[in-house]
Amino acid sequence: MPKQTKGTEPVEVNESEEEILETNASQETETVESVEISKEEEYLNDLKRLQADFDNYKKRQAEAEKNLKDYLIQGLVLDIIPVLDNFNAATAHVPEEAKDSPWVVGIQYIEKQLADVLAERGVQAVVPTIGEAFDPSKHEAIEKEAGSPESVEGEEIKGDIISQVKQKGYQLGERIIRPAKVVIK
């Protein structure tokens, strides 16, 4: 029988006890190894989770940056549109004899240049046609004609129809930033 020491005194151990001790020692070694492996897996999983969180953060930041850019462009466009409207009104009322004047041609060129700059940034005019159905998502009704017929030639009118366009609207991409002002009947 082998002798083991317990503390400072030798203790005799029989073979079955020795096998139990060896089994316990190997189990402890396996447990330590499995704890180390599970710690490694835990660290790896934490690292993967952090990487995914960082990727999601970058996507959210890119989206927030895009939204901010769109918001800033929209604000600037809303400030510039009245200037373009004034150019349109001024050039629409030029007398016939002055239409070929270099000064008027220069003003028309500036008007076109301003419209082109807005178009390059994705701004499009929304110009409804007379007789088109009124769409509150694109049009703003500023007046309703009195005595509007409820039917035309026996055909019942389902909704309001645009009878006049007072001011064209604008959209930036797919979003309406200023609805067209119309009169409906």
* pLDDT band at residue 152 using 50, 70 and 90 as cut-offs: very low
pLDDT greater than 70 at residue 2? no
- Inside any domain, residue 97: no
Residue 159 pLDDT = 79
Higher pLDDT, 151 or 73: 73
Residue 180 lies in a domain: yes
Residue 2 inside a domain? The answer is no
Q: Which residue range(s) make up the domain with 129?
A: 124-185
Q: What is the pLDDT of residue 9?
A: 58
Q: What is the pLDDT of residues 29-86, one digit of tens each?
A: 666 666 667 888 999 999 999 999 999 999 999 999 999 988 898 999 999 999 999 9
Distance of CA 147 to CAs 4, 150, 151, Å? Answer: 114, 9, 12
Task: Give dist(CA 52, CA 16) in Å, integer.
Answer: 53
Say how many domains are in the chain.
1
The CATH code of the domain that includes 177 is 2.30.22.10
In a domain, 160, yes or no: yes
Task: Tell me if 173 is assigned to some domain.
Answer: yes
Is 185 within a domain? yes
Is there a domain that residue 53 lies in? no
pLDDT tens sequence across 93-128:
999 999 999 999 999 999 999 999 999 989 999 999
